[in-house]
Amino acid sequence: MRIDILTLFPKMFENILGESMLKIAQDKGLVKISVLDLRDWTNDAHRTADDKPFGGGPGMVMKVEPVYRALEDICATPRRSISVYRRSRRRGGKVILLTPQGKRFGQKAAKRLAEEKHIILVCGHYEGFDERIRELADEEVSIGDYILTCGELPALVVVDAVTRLVPGVLGHDDSVKSESFENGLLEYPQYTRPAEFKGMKVPGVLLSGNHKKIEGWRAQEALKRTLKRRPDLFDSADDS
């Protein structure tokens, strides 16, 4: 899988992409992650990627030209009109804008994107995107109903959530099947050694060796935990 990240602040990604499972996934050759500086596609001496909004107002707006040129190069698409670009870009990657106006990102979306061969994440900044940038994207994604200073942090969330679902990245592919949100429920409680710590004991069923009883206990606990902590999961299907 190939993931390209278009950003004005590439140094924000260095440490996280070089650690833990993201590093392992890249070392194994299962995922190729490239962080690309949008300013490399500007055409003035100051490498300008933003400007004041038409009509007035606070802040700065990300310019359309650098994003368009970057996507042309990444997707190997000739420089033509945006309408022609949108029809021909399909041979390139899936372009995703990180923006609070996007659809809320969830586990179903992570699984769907993990099946793509190539995704391109465009990080927002300042007061947002020139509206014409939205015409270049396949979809817009938000990681929650709150405002961050930049799109780099959401991009990292998406990269991590998607990468760990690529086959071979985790040590055991079955490990994702019982995780929270995989079956619409939160994950059941987990324990490890010691069996007792300061009077707090591991439930006896987990020490019984009876796998059928253990599975039943886990299913019951997952249901109880979801009802107590996230009852909204029973009512909402908006996790894609």
pLDDT digits (tens, 9 = 90+) for 173-226: 665 665 656 678 999 999 999 999 999 999 999 999 999 999 999 999 999 999
What CATH number has the domain bearing residue 185? 1.10.1270.20
Is 114 in the same domain as 144?
yes
- Cβ(171)–Cβ(30) below 8 Å: no
**Residues 123-160: pLDDT tens digits?**
998 888 999 999 999 999 999 999 999 999 999 999 99
CA distance 25 to 1: 10
Q: Are 96 and 88 in contact (CB under 8 A)?
A: no
pLDDT of residue 237: 47
Q: Which of 134, 163, 192 is the last residue of a domain?
A: 163
pLDDT of residue 81: 52
Domains in the chain, number: 2
Residue 20: per-residue pLDDT: 95
Q: Do 23 and 93 belong together in one domain?
A: yes
> What integer pLDDT is reported at residue 234 of this predicted model?
87
CATH number of the domain that 100 lies in? 3.40.1280.10
Give the pairing type, strands 32-37 and 2-7: parallel
Tell me how far apart the alpha carbons of residues 109 and 217 are, in angstroms, rounded to a whole number: 29
What was the pLDDT predicted at 120?
98
- Give the range of the structural domain holding residue 31, as residue numbers without chain letter: 2-163
What pLDDT does 125 receive? 85
Q: What is the pLDDT of residues 28-87, one digit of tens each?
A: 999 999 999 999 999 999 999 999 999 999 999 999 999 999 999 998 765 455 555 554
C-alpha distances (whole Å) from 158 to each of 39, 54, 114 are 22, 32, 10
In terms of Cβ atoms closer than 10 Å to its own Cβ (0-12, 13-18, 19+), residue 17 is buried
Same-domain pairing of 112 and 145? yes
Supply the pLDDT for residue 83: 54
The pTM of the full predicted model, rounded to 2 decimals, is 0.85
Q: Distance (Å, rounded) from C-alpha 219 to C-alpha 182?
A: 13
